């Protein structure tokens, strides 16, 4: 089992940047596929980005491609989401999630563990 704790959220103006971090407990972090998801008020949780176990394979939602970058440091048990050129529509609670088997997928139901979320608010 793994516990996930997100940090780095906050209030930023449109066009600004934030870097989210997700720290994982346990000694098997490198065996998990990691993902970032977000949920805006009144909307379903949606996929943002994922990274495979080695960090070689990364995938992004079309809405964030070219603006967001996911990365991981297996030595620090941490996954990051660098968010640049933020837009008001990026406002949401951002969650990191871990998947401990199979291939990297974007479906929220495929992920086994979730953090508590961190709020990102982008003002216009």
First-last CA distance in the chain = 40
For residue 51, the model assigns a pLDDT of 97
Dist CA 102 CA 76 (whole Å): 23
For residue 78, the model assigns a pLDDT of 97
For residue 102, the model assigns a pLDDT of 82
Dist CA 115 CA 9 (whole Å): 13
Per-residue pLDDT of the chain (124 residues; tens, 9 = 90+): 899 999 999 999 999 999 999 999 977 899 999 999 999 999 999 999 999 999 999 999 999 999 999 999 999 999 999 999 999 999 999 999 999 988 889 999 999 999 999 999 999 9
Dist CA 78 CA 26 (whole Å): 11
What is the number of helices (H) and of strands (E) in the chain? 0, 11
| CB atoms near residue 39 (< 10 Å) | 15
Q: Which two tokens stand for residue 72?
A: 């991981």
For residue 104, the model assigns a pLDDT of 81
For residue 1, the model assigns a pLDDT of 84
For 123, left (φ over 0), alpha (ψ -120 to 50), or beta?
A: beta
Q: Cβ neighbours of residue 42 under 8 Å, at least 6 residues apart?
A: none
């Amino acid at each position: 089992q793994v516990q996930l704790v997100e940090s780095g959220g906050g209030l930023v103006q449109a066009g600004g940047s934030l870097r989210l971090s997700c720290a994982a407990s346990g000694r098997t972090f490198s065996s998990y596929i990691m993902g970032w998801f977000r949920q805006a008020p009144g909307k379903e949780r949606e996929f943002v980005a994922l990274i495979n176990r080695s960090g070689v394979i990364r995938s992004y939602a079309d809405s964030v491609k070219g603006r967001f970058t996911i990365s991981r440091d297996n030595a620090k048990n941490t996954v990051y989401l660098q968010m640049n050129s933020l837009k008001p529509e990026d406002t949401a609670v951002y969650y990191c999630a871990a998947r401990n088997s199979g291939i990297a997928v974007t479906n929220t139901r495929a992920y086994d563990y979730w953090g508590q979320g961190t709020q990102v608010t982008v003002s216009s």
